[in-house]
Amino acid sequence: MKPLIVLLLSFTISIFLIKIIKKEYDFALSARIAMSIMLLFTAIGHFAFTKGMSMMIPKIIPFKESIIYLSGILEILLALGLIIPKFQIVSGWALIVFLLLMLPANIYASLNHVNYQKGTFDGNGLIYLWFRIPLQFLFIIWAYISAIRIFE
């Protein structure tokens, strides 16, 4: 829920700031800025909640903590790439792939009641998926529309 709030609040603020600065609306830029801010926000979790996030990865996969750190770094790079015009399209596609690859971890975490912030197995469980899966697809659509420039 927090990433969605960060995304929508950042988008709203960006719309008005860009209107003041450029004297016109630029919804695609506002959307990319918002997605970048949201990615930076979620990247913090990879470093603050490494243990809990590593619990979201199935036991069969090795180097869980390294994967968490690398995915946090990747989120930071994608956030920057969405803002730099030269890299926005490739960053948009990379973000879509990244979000699709994260979906199984969210499903696994939900099935195993992972509470990544506490690093425990007392999370919301399947109820979480009713929110997280549509949210994940919202992020994918947002990345596609804003970075690959569908509506410009």
pLDDT in tens, 97-113: 999 999 999 899 989 99
pLDDT in tens, 8-55: 999 999 999 999 999 999 999 999 999 999 999 999 999 999 999 999
CA pair distance 88, 90, nearest whole angstrom: 6
Write the CB contacts of 7 (distance below 8 Å, at least 6 apart in sequence): 34, 35, 37, 38, 139, 142
pLDDT in tens, 56-115: 999 899 999 999 999 999 999 999 999 999 999 999 999 999 999 999 998 999 899 999
Q: Would you say residue 151 has pLDDT above 80?
A: no
Q: Are 88 and 147 in contact (CB under 8 A)?
A: yes
Mean pLDDT, the chain, as a whole number? 93
The reported pTM is 0.91
- Smallest CA-to-CA distance from 39 within 71, 85, 84, 87 is with 71
Q: Are 15 and 27 in contact (CB under 8 A)?
A: yes
CA pair distance 12, 61, nearest whole angstrom: 39
What are the boundaries of each domain within the chain?
Answer: 2-143
